[in-house]
């Protein structure tokens, strides 16, 4: 990962810029889990990752992960656990070893850069996890794709507003206010962002309505922001990076 730059996490309607046009899918909510299992078994039995891009099997207390290409997208990839975890609200994600999922997602940014033929710097690749109502797959997955230039510009122009603790940000993106915080780049690799969400203002034990995204800033810190689902709204953090509607 690029430790010379900061990163920023945002939730709710965060669009990506590299992907091909979104395609509508009518998939079972267990489709992703089936692919994850196929990749895990292939790696365990034959030491191949197919149909995934990469598979890391669990090693002791270190969880296993897969990286796979999102359908009909040239650049968008997903990072998912090799064990069954429904989504952002899962209690298992509060364990310290869940930081591995963010570490692997940060590492997977190189797949996006390679797919874009090096035309996109790794610092312009964002990460996102959607809320329960905005996802269509009940297997945890972190979206990894090119961040929308507009979102990156807004976040980077307001880096000074991100503090070491969660706080309401004074600016809007497409009319929406967010809560954000900064994590120093040197600490991001060992930070369990899922656990950090439990310390949001107005503490909630139920994270099912929270979506979150991570972006690189210009300075040496990492910032994240989130937003609770509004009444009747579907919160999709992955919309800050151009992902299909099946996430």
Query: So what's the pLDDT on residue 210?
Result: 87
The correct answer on CATH 3.90.1150.10 for the domain covering 6-240 is no
- At 18, the pLDDT band (50, 70, 90 cuts) reads low
Q: Tell me, what DSSP letter sits at residue 173?
A: E
- At 150, the pLDDT band (50, 70, 90 cuts) reads confident
73 has a pLDDT exceeding 60:
yes
Percentage of the chain beyond pLDDT 90 is 45
Residue 71's contacts (CB-CB under 8 Å, 6 or more residues apart) are: 23, 25, 244, 246
Q: Tell me, what DSSP letter sits at residue 62?
A: B
- At 21, the pLDDT band (50, 70, 90 cuts) reads very low
Given phi > 0 = left and psi -120 to 50 = alpha, else beta, which region is 18?
alpha
Which among 88, 130, 152, 101 has a CA at the least distance from the CA of 245? 130
Quick check: helix, strand or coil at residue 65?
strand
Query: So what's the pLDDT on residue 119?
Result: 93
Query: So what's the pLDDT on residue 114?
Result: 96
Average of per-residue pLDDT across 178-184: 84
Query: So what's the pLDDT on residue 71?
Result: 87
CB 64 within 8 A of CB 82: yes
Mean predicted lDDT score pLDDT of the chain: 81
pTM of the model: 0.86
**16-20, 53-57, 107-111, 142-146: range with lowest mean pLDDT:** 16-20
9 has a pLDDT exceeding 50:
no
Average of per-residue pLDDT across 133-151: 92
E strands, the chain, where? Answer: 6-9, 54-56, 65-69, 77-81, 125-129, 142-146, 167-173, 176-184, 210-217, 221-228
* CA 152 to centroid of chain Cα atoms: 15
**59-68, 86-95, 120-129: range with lowest mean pLDDT:** 120-129
**21-25, 116-120, 234-238: range with lowest mean pLDDT:** 21-25
Q: Where are the domains of the chain?
A: 6-240
CB 123 within 8 A of CB 21: no
């Amino acid at each position: 990962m690029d430790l010379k730059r900061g990163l920023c996490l945002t939730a709710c309607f965060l669009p990506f810029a590299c992907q091909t046009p979104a395609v509508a899918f009518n998939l079972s909510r267990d489709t992703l889990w089936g692919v994850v299992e196929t990749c895990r078994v292939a790696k365990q039995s034959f030491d191949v990752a197919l149909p995934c891009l990469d598979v890391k099997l669990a090693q002791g207390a270190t969880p296993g992960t897969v990286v796979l290409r999102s359908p009909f997208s040239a650049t968008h990839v997903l990072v998912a656990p090799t064990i069954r975890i429904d989504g952002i609200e899962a209690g298992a994600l509060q364990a310290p070893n869940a930081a591995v999922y963010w570490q692997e997602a940060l590492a997977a940014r190189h797949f996006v850069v390679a797919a874009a033929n090096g035309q996109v710097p790794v610092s312009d690749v964002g990460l996102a996890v959607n809320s329960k109502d905005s996802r269509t797959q009940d297997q945890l997955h972190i979206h990894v794709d090119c961040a929308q230039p507009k979102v990156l510009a807004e976040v980077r122009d307001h880096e000074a507003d991100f503090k070491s603790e969660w706080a309401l940000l004074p600016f809007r993106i497409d009319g929406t206010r967010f809560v954000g915080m900064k994590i120093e780049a040197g600490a991001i690799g060992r930070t369990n962002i899922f656990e950090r969400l439990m310390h949001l203002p107005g503490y909630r034990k139920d994270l099912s309505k929270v979506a979150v995204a991570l972006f690189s800033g210009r300075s040496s810190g990492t910032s994240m922001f989130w937003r609770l689902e509004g009444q009747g709204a579907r919160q999709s953090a992955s919309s800050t990076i151009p992902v299909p509607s099946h996430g």
